[in-house]
Structure 1
Amino acid sequence: MAGSRCSSRARLMAFLALFVTLFSTGCSVAQVPLLMWSSDGLPPLATPAAGHITSKDQLTAYLTSAFASGPHTVLLFLQDKLSKDDFTVFGGVFGNKQDSAFQNLEAALQSSSSSVMLPALEWSDSSAVPALLQEKMGVSPLLVDADTLSHLSINTSASNLLLINLPYCTGLDKSCKKVLLDNDDIIGKVLSIMKDKNVLYTAIYTGLQPSRVISETSMSTQPAGRSLLQAVVPDVKPPIMFNVSGNPCIMLWAQNLSISLSEGSVWIDLAAQTPSMTGSICNSSNSLLVLSYESGYILRFAMTRRFYPVSGRHWFTLDSVQLQANGQTASYKGSHNIYAPAEYSFHCQSVTSFRDTLLVPNKDDATPWRLNFIDFQIQGFGLANGTDFSYASDCAGFFTPGIWMGLVTGLLLLLIFVYGLHMIMQLNTMDRFDDPKGPSISVPQSD
């Protein structure tokens, strides 16, 4: 029982993490989230990678395995609009759990025997999911509400597809959170009725269409997304992508690609400009990304993929960064901290040539140029099967200076406490006391 609770809590934690931090992607494909849980058990499904968009074919294949044999009772909670951002904004993840608009939903996921979370399901039209369920189950959906369901006799010997429509906020009468709270109450009532009827069921919660569309402009020719370690932000620009034969080969994204001639001079942000990638190359072992800007600046990122027998896997490193400006060339070597598994991307909040030593200036290079890359992410290998960054290997170590300071201070205080306790335990009391006010002791003498 304890193990079941722990696994349920782990699934809930994974659900919160999936919808809050790991899926801040910009993509031209409309998406809706889909949550699926069951009181009877579901086939296992691997957790989608960060930024992955589940296609309709993948969902079809999973539903085929889920409803392959025997009759099933499916509760389809179909909301007018739904996006993964609704869980971030109204889920109360960053505050008190009592503020969440999805308390009954989260409780159902936590208590279910198995659940599946698809944060980004490819959306085509409003009838896609109901039509797919109707095809796989062989029955037409029956529109019900909580009151109707309480008086409905459910034949468990045949498949049942029960459709519960849920509204979404229009901005006219109720706030979005109030509407979602009411919807969550409906979900709780329906699940409670199914429990009272002692009917095993599979529940699905999704939307007729997305409630929010993220970064759908300026991406018609090169649809791409990004998966960075940050919260959802509006108007995220697409990453820089170099393709070979129509397949993505190198991807780079940065909030700022700033360069400065010397300390105190004006910073120039190249990320605000659109570069040409003429001269870029990539293969299975080497990648070179060349960014040529109309202002005359050229940035080159050289990466290498190698196999390390000690770890038994391939790793890639950012070997060098080169800047050409005003007829001068500044070269910087990537330190030993700029690396990641070959199938991952590399991410760092700050990459500079003057503060964190991630980019080490060439000793033979006397140019005073300085580089400052903010929220920097790059991947030079393993992009053939997708247009999103792979899982990011971050440059931030676990033991930061603050953690080390806390550990050392705590150890010092512990030593002082142990020494004081040892001194107290060594104190001894006298085995005899003299009373100067009492009578003196006389010893009679005999002749």
Structure 2
Amino acid sequence: MAGSRCSSRVRLMAFLALFATLFFTASSVAQVPLLMWSSDGLPPLASPAAGHITTNGQLTAYFTSAFGAGPHTVLLLLQDKLSKDDFTVFGGVFGNKQDSAFQNLEAALQSSSSSVMLPALEWSDSSVIPALLQEKLGVSPLLVDADTLSHLSINSSASNLLLINLPYCTGLDTSCKGVLHANDEIIGKVLSIMKAKDVQYTAIYTGLQPSRVISETSLSVQPAGRSLLQAELPDVKPPIMFNVSGNPCIMLWAQNLSISTSKDVWIDLDAQTPSMSGSICNDSTSLLVLSYESGYTLRFTMSRRFYPVSARFWFTLDSVQLQANGLTASFIGSRNIYAPAEYSFHCQSVTSFRDILLVPNNTNSNTTLWMLNFIDFQIQGFGLANGTDFSYASDCAGFFTPGIWMGLLTGLLMLLILVYGLHMIMQVTTMDRFDDPKGPSISVPQSE
């Protein structure tokens, strides 16, 4: 028993040491989104790769090309706090459009001649953006509000930097949506005033600081297995993206898309560039068709439904079909692969033969012979109308791992033993009568 307790202490000390190492090597990556649009055009900017964080140097270079020559009128809509989560939670721009708190902002982005969206801009100080614009335009910012702007005379022959401060909420979801909706009304009023004045302008909407800070483990102590969601990794390939009218509609990324149509022979399709002809998407159904020159075709069918029990929309990956040499194998995944409609789905391993997430459809004889193996798989078929990056991922890994269950059961067993021992001790009683060495001894009569 003593050896067992000693061994338990050693394992506990090792676990605490590992936890402390991971905790103190974690670093916070602060990011703010930046939305920029113009009534007279902006220089083209390539969409950032999935998981990419735009640095201040890259933003400086783009501002140099955008405001390099001639006078410019810039509206800097500077909110106290702003993160990409605000768009995801409260709808619009990067997420679900239903009941959006950013309707005027969305309308301005859609109606502008050109726009730039940076979902993740490196943040280090609240004065970076105003100072950078002041340097590029050569003028100091002028703090205005909607009423002041309506009576302000703007000289289009000189550069102008108009600063409009917007508040942020106190933390409650209901108040946050109300504050963001009020800010959106201010943005709409300001843009209407600029249109009425017939002044060409460039508008920038960003935050003084992030409203949420995401902690990520240092790359030096964590393998880059899920590198898609990390920052500035040059070897990360871009995701497969299907666009409708220039807007992303379906996104898929995987480290490997491996298939097998014969025993022990695997083919990695991810090394080939597919054609997406035949893909479709709408508010309720998404179909991603990946046709490869080698003759293989993968079809991912997804659906979006409202579930009254959870009072929200969810999307499911209903099926994956593999076509080769005129034959088709079908795999069902609707009960295993699902996520909230505004999220993406991620899983380290999606297979049809081990820890099955894609269940073979036995009605097709080819399904029992063919196999699928997707490594570091992530897919999203909804909520990408104005975004170029995956939403937060709903991971297939459960919270209660086998190790956690073992620890809970062991702790419960030890607790039961302790309670039983205390109960036995409480039941111990003393004798009602004792021998008195100074008096007569107790005699017990014996009968023959």
Tell me the TM-score normalized by structure 2.
0.52
Instruction: Write the deviation string for residues 139-167 of structure 1: whole angstroms up to 9, x where unpaired.
Output: xxxxxxxxxxxxxxxxxxxxxxxxxxxxx
Q: What is the distance in 1 between the residues matched to 2:421 and 2:401?
A: 31
Q: What does 1:375-386 correspond to in 2, within 5 Å? A: 375-386=376-387
Q: Provide the residue aligned with 1:236 in structure 2.
A: 236
Q: Aligned partners of 2:139 and 2:432: how far apart in 1?
A: 92
Matching of residue 369 in structure 1 with residue 370 in structure 2: yes
Is this contact kept in 2: 1:253–1:378, CA < 8 A? yes
Amino acid at match of 1:256: N
Structure 1 residue 266, shift from structure 2 partner: 3.0
Distance verdict in 2 for CA 1:347–1:276, change over 3 Å: same
Change (3 A) 1:397 1:233: same
* CA distance in structure 2 between the partners assigned to 1:236 and 1:312 by the alignment: 36
Match in the other structure for 1:135: 140
**3-state SS in 2 of match to 1:261:** strand
Per-residue Cα deviation, 1:87-107 (whole angstroms, up to 9, x for no partner)? 9xxxxxxxxxxxxxxxxx9xx
- Report matched runs for 1:298-377 at 5 Å: 298-367=297-366, 368-377=369-378
CA change 1:16–1:33 in 2 (3 A) is: farther
Q: CA deviation digits over 1:239-268, x for unaligned, max 9?
A: 0011112111111001111112356x1321
Verify the 8 A CA contact 1:50 1:227 in the aligned structure 2. no
Taking a change above 3 Å as real, the CA distance of residues 401 and 49 of structure 1, as seen in their structure-2 partners, is same
Instruction: Read off the aligned partner of 2:303 and give its amino acid letter.
Output: T
Residue 44 of structure 1: aligned partner: 80
The AA in structure 2 aligned to 1:424 is I
Q: Does 1:32 align with 2:56?
A: yes
Matches within 5 A, 1:15-414: 16-19=27-30, 26=50, 30-32=54-56, 44-49=80-85, 128=133, 130-131=135-136, 135-136=140-141, 228-229=228-229, 233-261=233-261, 265-367=264-366, 368-414=369-415
Note if contact 1:25-1:227 (Cα within 8 Å) is conserved in structure 2.
no
TM-superposed deviation, 1:406: 1.6
CA distance in 2, matches of 1:26, 1:316: 21
Q: Partner letter of residue 56 of structure 2?
A: V
* Counterparts of 1:297 and 1:432, CA distance in 2: 92
Aligned mates of 2:339, 2:138 — CA distance in 1: 41
SS of aligned partner of 1:44: strand
Q: Secondary structure at the match of 1:415?
A: helix
Structure 2, unpaired ranges of 5+: 1-23, 32-47, 59-77, 95-104, 106-120, 144-207, 210-225, 444-448
The question of whether the paired residues in 2 share the 8 Å contact of 1:307 and 1:313 is answered with: yes
Letter of the structure 2 residue corresponding to residue 235 of structure 1: D
**Partners of 1:261 and 1:48 in 2: CA distance:** 42
* RMSD across aligned positions (CA): 4.3
User: One-letter code of the match for 1:430?
Assistant: M
Q: TM-score, normalised by structure 1?
A: 0.52
One-letter amino acid of the structure 1 residue matched with residue 338 of structure 2: Y
CA distance in 1: counterparts of 2:376 and 2:53, whole angstroms:
24
Q: Aligned with 2:384: secondary structure?
A: coil
Quick one: structure 1 residues 27 and 231, their matched pair in 2 at CA, closer, same or farther if it must change by over 3 Å? closer
Q: Would you say the 8 A contact 2:227–2:233 is kept in 1?
A: no
Cα shift at 1:306: 1.4
Compared CA separation, residues 414 and 378, structure 1 to 2 (3 A): same
2: distance between equivalents of 1:434 and 1:305?
85
Report how far residue 129 of structure 1 moved: 6.2
* 2:175 matched residue in structure 1: none
Q: Residues 339 and 27 of structure 1: is their aligned pair in 2 closer, same or farther, counting only changes over 3 Å?
A: closer
Q: What is the letter of the counterpart of residue 289 of structure 1? A: L
* In structure 2, distance between residues paired with 1:319 and 1:378: 13
Change (3 A) 1:313 1:439: closer
Maintained 8 Å contact 1:45/1:116: no
The alpha-carbon deviation at position 132 of structure 1 amounts to 6.5
1:430 aligns with 2:431: yes
Contact 1:351 1:376 in 2 (8 A): yes
The answer to whether the 8 Å contact 1:319/1:334 transfers is yes
Distance in 2 between residues matched to 1:428 and 1:27, nearest whole Å: 69
- CA gap of 1:246–1:232, structure 2 versus 1, over 3 A, is closer
AA in 2 matched with 1:285: S
Q: Tell me, which stretches of 5 or more residues in structure 1 are unaligned? A: 1-12, 35-41, 55-60, 62-82, 88-104, 106-114, 139-203, 206-225
Distance verdict in 2 for CA 1:400–1:255, change over 3 Å: same
Answer whether contact 2:349 2:375 (CA < 8 A) is retained: yes
- 1:133–1:235 CA distance, 2 compared to 1 (3 A): farther
C-alpha spacing 1:290/1:426, structure 2 compared with 1 (3 Å): same
Whole-angstrom CA distance in 2 between matches of 1:234 and 1:325 = 34
> Following the alignment from structure 1 to structure 2, what is the Cα–Cα distance between the partners of residues 288 and 398?
30
Kindly provide the CA deviation profile for residues 198-234 of structure 1, in whole angstroms up to 9, marking residues without a partner as x. xxxxxx99xxxxxxxxxxxxxxxxxxxx994557643
What amino acid is aligned across from residue 258 of structure 2 in structure 1? S
Identity of aligned residues (%): 66
**Number of residues paired by the alignment?**
275
Conserved in 1, the CA contact under 8 Å of 2:51 and 2:230? no
What amino acid sits opposite 1:408 in the alignment? L
Paired residues of 2:50 and 2:388 also in contact (CA < 8 A): no
Residue in 1 aligned with 2:182? none
Residue by residue over 1:151-199, the C-alpha shift from the partner in whole angstroms, topping out at 9 and shown as x without a partner, is xxxxxxxxxxxxxxxxxxxxxxxxxxxxxxxxxxxxxxxxxxxxxxxxx
**Residues 116, 331 of structure 1: alpha-carbon distance in 2 compared, 3 angstrom cutoff:** farther
Distance 1:388 1:282 in 2: 17
**Alpha-carbon distance in structure 2 between the residues aligned to 1:296 and 1:51:** 40
